[in-house]
Amino acid sequence: MKPLERLGLALLHRIDPERAHGLSLLALRAGLASLPGPVDVPRLHTTLAGMSLLNPVGLAAGYDKNATAIAPLSRAGFGFIEVGAATPLPQPGNDKPRLFRLTQD
């Protein structure tokens, strides 16, 4: 990890988790994160529900709920990215705090 990335991560850990989540998405969209690109190792190739994946590691729904960072996330090395939730009308969401850290882990 580069020194600037280490500093950014340390700063994100000092602020409210929900705000850190938003800032991390903003940094991705602004191109401020170094991303490894696709992980294409033949022994990791996987087929799931008829879809061919480069690897079996995916990003679960909830990180990019509004699908605003699909392009940079596609360069993060995941085999698949699940975005959304898609609903016919906007939903109020859960009460805060919705995110928290397990600092002992």
User: Each residue of 11-56: pLDDT tens digit?
Assistant: 888 999 999 999 999 999 999 888 888 889 999 999 999 999 999 9
- Dihedral (C-alpha) 52, 57, 62, 63: value to the nearest 10 degrees? -110
Whole-prediction pTM: 0.78
Cβ atoms 52, 45 nearer than 8 A: yes
For the residues 82-90, what does the mean pLDDT come to? 85
Tokens in use for 101? Answer: 């850290």
User: Each residue of 68-79: pLDDT tens digit?
Assistant: 999 999 999 999
Burial class (CB in 10 A: 0-12, 13-18, 19+), 29: middle
Nearest to 83 by CA among 101, 104, 105, 67: 67
